[in-house]
Structure formats: C-alpha cells, structure tokens
Structure 1
Amino acid sequence: MAAAASMVFFLAVALAAASNSDAALVEHTFVVSQVKLNRLCNDTLMTVVNGQFPGPAIEITEGDSVAVHIVNMSPYGLTIHWHGVLVQMNCWADGAGMITQCPIQPNNNFTYRFDVVGQEGTLWWHAHVASLRASIHGALIIRPRASLYPFPRPDKEIPIIIGEWWEMDLVQLDRRLRNGLLFDMPSAATINGKPGDLYNCSGAIKETNILSIEHGKKYLLRIVNAVLNSEYYLKIAGHKFTVVGADANYVKPYTTDVIAIAPGQTVDALLVASDAHNPGGRYYMVAKANQPPKPAIQISRFISRATVQYNNNGPESKQDDEEADPVTAPEMPDEHDQITSFYFHGNLTSLQLPHPVPVNVDERLFFALDSGSFCDEGGSLPCVKTTNMTIHRFRNMVGTINNISFQLPATTPLLQAHYYNKVSSIDTLRDMPDRAPRMFYFSETIEPTSKATSVRRLPYNATVEIVFQSPLLGDTFANPMHLHGYNFFVLAQGFGMYRPERDVKRYNLVDPPVRNTVQVPIFGWAAVRFVANNPGVWFLHCHYGHHSSSGMATTFLVENGPTLDMSLPPPPEDLPACSENYNTRLAYE
C-alpha cells in the first residue's frame, strides 16, 4: 500500500509538472565588495555579496533557468560555485576556480547561467576561491512545481545557515592553509549571521536571532552548514525534528531531536510547534561544533544559539521583557561525541531514488584521506639535513588523497585544457591511482608527499565506486567529501579499516541516501557509487577548509559520450580570462 501511495504521489507530481511546464528565468545581481560589519563589538572588513552576511537567497522552482550577474568590486579574483546543482551538460557554469574557469577579476563582471532540473530541496551557493566562502555564501532553495511536497505542506519556511565569524583576512588565511601552516580559528559560530547571546560584550546591545512561531503550525527548516572547519549538532529544547530531505534529495521521514550536519551539507527538517503546555514559552535553538578528540587541535567552546519564541499573543512580545519566562536550553551532545553523528547519517534512507543503484561497477577506487608533509626548501620553514645521512624534517603538513596533495594548475583551468586537448601541457599533471601507494598506515607517521594536479579519467557512463578511508590513528578528523556535478549513492559507512570481504555485505542497494557531500566518519570509512554521465572536469574535495586548501582533493575528467547531446558544449564567449597578476591564482576554497 505504501509503495502504491508513493507511486500515485509521484505520478501526480509528474502530471502537475507537465501542466505547469512554463519554466521561468530567475535573475539575480550579486555585487561583491568589502564592507565593515560589526559583530563581537568590533568592526571587521568583510568580503560579502550585496552587503549581506549571509548573502541573498536564490529561490526558484524546479525546472527554472537561473542567471546570476556577478559584479566584482572586491580586491580579489573570485568564482561562485552552485553547491549541489548538477549543471548537467554545463560544466562551464560550475564555478570552481582554476578547475572550470579563471577567477572573475576585480572590476570585472560575469554571468552564470544554468538550469535546475530534477532537483528539489535546499542547496547553497558560495565563493570557490581561497577561503572566501566563509563570508560569501547563501541559500539556494528549489521548490517543487505546484508546491507538491512529499510531506505535509509547511505553513512557513525558515532558512537556518550555520556559519563562522572570522576577524582575519580570508585570503591570507587560505595562503597559510595552502602552505600547511595550521591552525587559525574563527572568533565565533553564527546562526543566520549572528553569533547569539553567548558572545555578548560589555556595553553592547544583545543581538541574537528570534524565531517567532505559533502553536500548531508546521515549519520547514532549511538548514545549511556553511562553515570552514566543523560538523555541527543542532537542537531545539523541548522539540523534535522530522528530517525530510538532505542535499536536495528527499529522505524517508526520520524523527530525531538532534541533527548532525557537516560542512557543505544541507538538511530539510519539519518542526511542529507543539508546546501546548507553555504556549508563550521560549526555547534555545543551539548549534554546537563537533570536534575530534585529543591529540587533535582543540577549538574553544564553539556554540551559537537563537531563541525560538511562541508568539500566539503578538509578535516578539517578550523579546525585551526582563520578567519574561527564562529560555529553556537543550542538553547537547558532548563536543567529542562522534557516535551521534555516525547514527544520524546512517539512519537516513532515500524516499525515492532518481534511478536504481547500478549493480555492475566499472571503476573501483580506494581513496585514503590523510595528511602528508613536504619539504619547502625555499620557504620560511626549510628542511633540516644532517651530514652522515640525509634527514628531511618536514615542517609543512598538507592534506592528501592517496598520498598526493592536490595543486591547482597555475595558468590554465583544467576544463579549458581538457576542451582544447592541452591537458598534457600542464606541468604538474599526475594520474590519480586506484589506491594509496602504501596501504594501512594512515597517520601512524606523517609521510612525505608530493604536490600535483591529480586527475582521474572516467569513460562516459562508467559506474564508479569509491571507498573513502579516514585515518585510523593520530591527530585526525572526519572528512566531508564533496563531488561537483554529481550526487552519490551512499551505500554504507563504518568505523575502522574498510574490508571488502566483510563490508560489501552491509551495502544498502535498495534505498541508500543520495547526497552530494558524504561525511566520512572519523577513524572510519564510507562507500559511495555514482554514474559518470555528466562530461567535464569535476572537483572532488574535502569540505573542511584546512583540508581542501592544503590539498585533500582531486579531479575527475569525465569523457564525452557517443553523441553530441552527450558531449561537453563549447565554453561561453565571455568566460573570464586568467590574469598574470591576480592574487588568488593558486587558491581555492
């Protein structure tokens, strides 16, 4: 009966889409500039879009076309990435700096044009040069045609963007990360751009988020983790969520009192305002950073909170009332609790797959996610050598995949080099191997590594399976791995070393969650599968800023199919050209 009901619903959606097939063109103008914003009682010079932090939301209906006009008035070259948008047959619009295009130079303009087809839910957009995504980002909301949701229609939708407040220059931060100089910290966590009342300073008026809700109504929270460095736990005291979507893919409704969301991920969750016993009550919504245990570097207490206020008797009537009821706070998971994250991600299953999980695998890849070290002979921290035997005391620690630290090409974006058959001219080019050259050490020692522009070629329509393995020892992190231009089937996850003879039996080939960013557990692994049917050059990277900037990344070069409509089209005529002098040439997120 449930399967029949589901089929009837999706048939209704298809018929509604057919009867409302007049897709719209949604246009935005993003002016990128530097403005002074005040948080934590200080004026901080921030690079933002339209003077806003977070930036403006893009709201569209499935099937619409989008045109975003970028006016770069900042001092930095930059690109904008449409995180999770599949941009089918349109790799040129992906917005990955020096992968698909050169950065848009200061005092220059560029228009991104793409269609959004077959996707519904919450995604986001962000800068994809240097660490500028920490301040240049916003929600991208895709609604179904005829407003037909596969869950009770909400009375209101509320974006919740978890972010960080940095009081340092983000391009300088990226240079430090790129060279393996860790570890700088943000000054605060934020919800919708505000640190919340935990960060009050003397003499300043409290600035926090007040979310006004009414008893009995349903709210769709569109949650985005836009931070550089941490997975977050999100809770609202006295309330539960029903998770209905993740990374713009519907999931079977899952009820929980805590949401785990890694950098790059989005979660759609229904909140029912059901506090019948205290209709005027106030409750904290708390976002708390999850972090690895020692000996990993520990961040200071990193929490932001907003107030959820029942307002049946008038809007925000108790916000400044000193005699108002106290705000109830939730009991949060421990900051080192990794099990809650593991079970949250593992409990998600797909409501309906875009197509069946492919059974026959053409390419099997084992990607060891780790740290390596390199000797910077010309840098400020050179190698140390002895006379009896050469000893390299590597001072710079970088992220790696299969012991290769990714380096962006210096002058020509990979996609352009591929389109014009000049990939072989990139001096730093190197093939990404199937697996690590030395297996099973994973941070027992910090191995010497090399920097290279690693590329893995994939035939058109090949089924690819990747097992991501996080380090098992030492100073380590979980790893949110994001692939541009594709969604993954997330087949399984586990702790310890992946062993195919044991773990393949655990694969969910029936209703696995479909995501663009998979959280690879700390001290563990995750197995994913996708079909390489979108030609172009696609970036795969960890979405932690200190990992991606220092090289935990690679690229997939997906070849053309047999027909013209399965082949990469020519670049737009106004694609930005590279400059010899732009100061973020070698930087990405």
Structure 2
Amino acid sequence: MEKLSMAATMFCAVVLAALAAAAGGEAAVVEHTFVVHEMNQTHLCNTTKIYVVNGQLPGPTIDITDGDTVVVHVINRLPHGLTIHWHGIRQMRSCWSDGAGFVTECPIPPGGEHVYRFNVTGQVGTLWWHAHVTCLRATVAGAFIIRPKGGRYPFPTPAKDVPIIIGEWWELDLVELDRRMHDGNFDDNPLSATINGKLGDLSNCSGKPEESFVLDVVRGKTYLLRIVNTALFSEYYFKVAGHTFTVVGADGYYLTPYKTDMVTVAPGEAIDVLMAADAPPAHYHMVALANQPPEPDPQIPGFVSRGLVRYAGSSHNNNGLPVPTPLMPSQHNTMPSYYFHSNLTGLAHPDRHRVPMHVDERLFFALGLGSICRGTNKTCERGRSPETIVVATMNNVSFRHPTNASLLERYYDGQTSGLYTEDLPDHPPHPYNYTDRSLIPPGPLEKALEPTFKATKLRRFRYNTSVEIIFQSTALLQSDSNPMHLHGYDFFVLATGLGNYNPKTDPKKFNYHNPQLRNTVQVPRTGWAAVRFVTDNPGMWYLHCHFEFHIIMGMATAFIVENGPTPETSLPPPPPEFKRCGANGLTQP
C-alpha cells in the first residue's frame, strides 16, 4: 500500500510539473519510440519489401516547440544495421546524437536499440529525420516540425499545417540498390515519384490508377505546407493548379515572404509555404515533377506524382468537369530551380545570426565525377570503360567511408592512426574550365581529368573560425546540380551564380544584409554557391551532397571542429546511452 501511495504521489508530481510547464511555456521533453522493421507494400501490380518506422510511410512526424528536448528510442528489427540522422538539427554540443553512420556512431546492429537525446533551441520551422546507412532513407524518413514559443508566427497563423513529403517508389530492394551503387552500377531507377507515400493516379497497372494523396481544404482558409524532398535521386518542381504560394521558411528558419506559383525543392531541403484556399470550390491537381539535365548527361526516366486538393462542398466527381492540372516546366529545364533559390532571402536575423564579415579560412570545392581503376589495377582505360568505376569527388578526392569505426569516437579517443588524414585540399589540385560542356562524355576532354583516388581525407578547424566555402558544380562526366548538406551547422548563403566562380567580381554580389540561413544549399547545375559560417559547435561533422548516388560515390568529407577554451564550448564525453563501436562496424553493449 505504501509503495502504491508513493508511486501515485510521484505520478501526480510529474503530471503537475508537466501542466505547470505547459502553462508557463517552459521547455518540455518530447519522447518517441521508433521501431524499424520490414513490411510489404503492393504498387504497380508488384509486392515489394520496404523498410519503415512503426508501420508508417512516411514515418512518424516529430512535433515539438523551440527549446524542447527530444528523446527517441530506436529499436532495430532489420537484418542489418542503421542509424537515424536528425537532418538540420544544430546538435549544439550533442554531436554524439547526430546519427551519421560511421561518422558520429556505428550502426545500431540487428536486434539492437539506441537512444538519441538532444535539445532544439533557436530553430523554428520544418526539418526532417531519416536513416543514414545505405539507401534506407527512401522509406525510413519523416517530418520534424519545430513550432515557435507561444505559437507566434511572423505571418498570419494558418488554419492547419500539412507535411508534403516528396519521395520515390523503388521496386528494387534498397539494400541491394546500395550494394549495386557501391559496385559502380548506377543504372537502377525508381518507378515513380510519391507525395506522402502515394504514387498518384498518373501511375497505373492494368488500367487501375494508384491512390493519390488528397488535401482537404475549406475556402477562405490558409494552409501551411511543409514541403520536404526525401528522394534519393532528384530535385522536384511542385505546383497546385489554380493556386499560388507564399514561401515563408526553409530549413528551420524564416524567410522574407516570397510569392510564387511553383516551389523547387532539392533532396535534403525543407520549404515552408502558405497556400490560400481562394479558388472556386472544386478539385485541383497538385504535381511533383523531377527535373534533370538534358543530354548529353546520362538520362533517367521522368518521375512524377499527382495528388489532389479537394474543397469542402465540392461534389465527389467535381461536377463532372475535368480536374485542372498545373502547367509544369520541362523536366530538362533547370533554370526555374536557379531563379527560385536565388530569389529567396532571410527574414531579419537576431544579432547572433549576423553574417561574419571577416574570413579566416577560404575553401573552394570543385564538385564533379571521376574514375578509379577496378580491382588492383593501377592503369586502365578511361571514358566510362568497363575497366573503371565512376566515383564522385570534391577537389579530385573521392571520400572513402569507414566501414568498421566511428570517426567521432576515434577522434575523441585520440586513436585516429590509419583511419583518416586531415589534408583535404582547399582547392582543386589542377584548375580547369569547370563548366566546359566538352567534359561531358563523349567529350573528348574528360579523359585527362577523370583519374582520381579514394581516401578518407578530412579538414580540421579551430573553434570560432570564420569559414567561407565556394561550391563549384562542374561538367566533369555530368553537369548535375549538387545539394550540399553540412551536419551540425547552418550557413549563410551569400550568393549563387551560373558558370565559373570569379573571385574578383562575384563577391560584389554577396548578400550580407538578409541572406538565407540554410543547412542544405542547392549548388546550381554548372554553377556555384558561396556560403559562410562560424565553427561554434565542436565535434565531427559530415559534409556531403544529398543525392544518394553522389554520397555513395564519394562526394563527401567531414569537418573536425576543435574544442573552445571553456567546458561550455567543448564537446562533452559520450552520454550514458551512447554505445561504442564493436567488431565489424556494429555497436556493442
């Protein structure tokens, strides 16, 4: 009886504390359990094994308020390891919970469990979470919503907010897809785009259309669409027939309101838009269309998904009238992406978000493809011959991902010998005309530039260093764009441009007044992007392109940020729930 009374007393105390915190607007602890498991789904007349969290596709939405602490218990019921990355969360002094496989931790082994615990402060808007080992993020992903304290937005409060998760449907097993990519096979493609896990009625099998995502709206109300691109392969154009958007945020920060009829979202990006339901009550199609460079770049099928905006009071069959479909750009026209991204600016930032005006370290990263010889051969025929494997590079280095150790753990323990070096080049070893279209096969100029090598090369920075990076997309072997994502940091996007970056004239275009603050920057096709940030978060932070094939091919590195002068500016020891690496790259108790 005494134990029961004590338990009841403690329960009441917890409830009262929670109520007091809610009433006072204090930070809360938001807890989730993610059970990752296999599940079968049938689309396009075929049943496919997929990987999901808690039986959901997309996965569960994490919904918190600025200042809350998040605790997620991950239970891995897959036959292979995985980690969960909290995409865009700053992870201030909580690098151990970043969830980058083999960078901040080894994978959670089959049957294993892991607890992620971190605080979210100073970010508001939409981010997301996803698996970060193999290609599993195609289905193991979900939205991460951060609400402002007191529910106060810098725009009229919407009637409802709706995650719009753009992805892809793969019939090929995602683990097998990862294996093929590691072997240099990049001929596999998804079968369709998806909106919130639905393929849409443009996809059909034996005359039966696939199910579409339906957004029910009421005329006169405004909706906040939280658009996230979780796709492995493509950037997407998104439109709703008869409606316009006001872009108000991206990557967890507010933007200066920008009106448009189309949103462009690259893999890794999250875009917040307001959509007013101001059209005559009826049905209207929404469309997500993947873009890609034109030939001579390698071509993939066009991916598209179509959903429906359905007004309350409209008839089931839309009064017998055709449902309007938005007019989309050509899938080979990438200029709308460039204009969309370059037109965005940040809302007035607090003092702590001012652009650093001095620069301590300047880096120029040329992003392209290259090739290595198969097997142990030191010489081989280039030009996409069977003797080579195509790889992706930064400054002619293709990142070799560790497979049995965590970079952060070994760095913290001071046992890095033989694992990595800290000599990632600041500039390409051999400058060239990065955007010369003759570098795209059949060339003929690419053969002399494509030889490269794989290595685990990192870059180290002192605490509180101001860093400027110029990302240059190249035409070497292909002319794709590159959505570059930096873990643990947000950076100011000072400018983007087309062609080769000019260090004498292009800095005159930099926006120091109200640039976007982003964790992912879309470096335009055969163009460049200039970003700047201060290294105020110690730890080991992964930098990579968010096209999955580019990650696997090696367009990645990691930044080491040293400790600052005080305990409050230093990386703390691993938390009690952190599991160190064991044999074969798996965690041990």
Instruction: Give the aligned residue type for 1:190.
Output: T
Matched, 1:363 2:367: no
SS for the counterpart of 1:454 is coil
Give the corresponding residue for 1:33: 37
Distance 1:540 1:508 in 2: 23
- Contact 2:289–2:303 (Cα < 8 Å) also in 1: yes
Over the residues paired in the alignment, what is the CA RMSD in angstroms?
2.1
Please point out which of 520, 525, 529 is paired with 1:522: 525
Distance 1:322 1:342 in 2: 36
Instruction: Give the aligned residue type for 2:139.
Output: S
Seen in structure 2, the aligned counterparts of structure 1 residues 197 and 219 have a Cα distance that, compared at 3 Å, is same
- Contact 2:461–2:560 (Cα < 8 Å) also in 1: yes
Matched, 1:267 2:271: yes
Greater alpha carbon shift after TM alignment, 58-67 vs 168-177: 168-177
Matched, 1:62 2:66: yes
- Contact 2:380–2:388 (Cα < 8 Å) also in 1: no
Give the corresponding residue for 2:563: 560
Distance 1:532 1:384 in 2: 41
Please point out which of 166, 171, 174 is paired with 1:170: 174
Q: How does 1:358-437 map to 2 (within 5 A)?
A: 358-377=356-375, 394-423=387-416, 425-437=417-429
Greater alpha carbon shift after TM alignment, 445-454 vs 285-294: 445-454
Instruction: Give the aligned residue type for 1:501.
Output: K
Distance 2:209 2:259 in 1: 37
Instruction: Give the aligned residue type for 2:493.
Output: V
Give the corresponding residue for 1:324: 320
SS for the counterpart of 2:48 is strand
Give the corresponding residue for 1:334: 330
Distance 1:163 1:98 in 2: 25
Distance 1:303 1:404 in 2: 34
Give the corresponding residue for 2:300: 299
Give the corresponding residue for 1:13: none
Give the corresponding residue for 2:165: 161
1:580 to partner: Cα distance: 3.3
Give the corresponding residue for 2:287: 286
Q: How does 1:540-559 map to 2 (within 5 A)?
A: 540-559=543-562
| Count, aligned residues | 552
Give the corresponding residue for 1:461: 464
Give the corresponding residue for 1:4: none
Q: What's the TM-score once normalised by structure 2's chain length?
A: 0.90
- Contact 1:231–1:290 (Cα < 8 Å) also in 2: yes
SS for the counterpart of 2:336 is helix
Cα deviations across residues 163-215 of structure 1 (Å, max 9, x unaligned)?
Answer: 00111121221222223222310111000001000012126464111111111
Matched, 1:439 2:440: no
Distance 2:131 2:151 in 1: 30
1:578 to partner: Cα distance: 3.1
Seen in structure 2, the aligned counterparts of structure 1 residues 538 and 66 have a Cα distance that, compared at 3 Å, is same
Instruction: Give the aligned residue type for 2:363.
Output: L
SS for the counterpart of 1:429 is coil
1:421 to partner: Cα distance: 1.2
Instruction: Give the aligned residue type for 2:328.
Output: M
Distance 2:318 2:500 in 1: 55
Greater alpha carbon shift after TM alignment, 42-51 vs 568-577: 568-577
Greater alpha carbon shift after TM alignment, 148-157 vs 170-179: 170-179
- Contact 1:217–1:273 (Cα < 8 Å) also in 2: yes
Q: What's the TM-score once normalised by structure 1's chain length?
A: 0.90
Give the corresponding residue for 2:535: 532
Sequence identity (%): 54
Q: How does 1:180-191 map to 2 (within 5 A)?
A: 180-191=184-195
Query: Which consecutive unaligned segments of at least 5 residues does structure 2 have?
Result: 1-20, 440-444
Seen in structure 2, the aligned counterparts of structure 1 residues 534 and 19 have a Cα distance that, compared at 3 Å, is farther
Distance 1:579 1:561 in 2: 30
Greater alpha carbon shift after TM alignment, 18-27 vs 526-535: 18-27
1:558 to partner: Cα distance: 0.2
Instruction: Give the aligned residue type for 1:471.
Output: T
Distance 2:404 2:301 in 1: 39
- Contact 2:237–2:290 (Cα < 8 Å) also in 1: yes
Query: Which consecutive unaligned segments of at least 5 residues does structure 1 have?
Result: 1-16, 387-391, 585-589
Q: How does 1:105-120 map to 2 (within 5 A)?
A: 105-120=109-124
Instruction: Give the aligned residue type for 1:468.
Output: F
Give the corresponding residue for 2:5: none
1:484 to partner: Cα distance: 0.2
- Contact 2:104–2:408 (Cα < 8 Å) also in 1: yes
Distance 2:208 2:23 in 1: 54
Matched, 1:202 2:206: yes
- Contact 2:482–2:546 (Cα < 8 Å) also in 1: yes
1:23 to partner: Cα distance: 0.7
SS for the counterpart of 1:549 is helix
- Contact 2:131–2:137 (Cα < 8 Å) also in 1: yes
Give the corresponding residue for 1:144: 148
Distance 2:45 2:510 in 1: 51
SS for the counterpart of 2:460 is strand
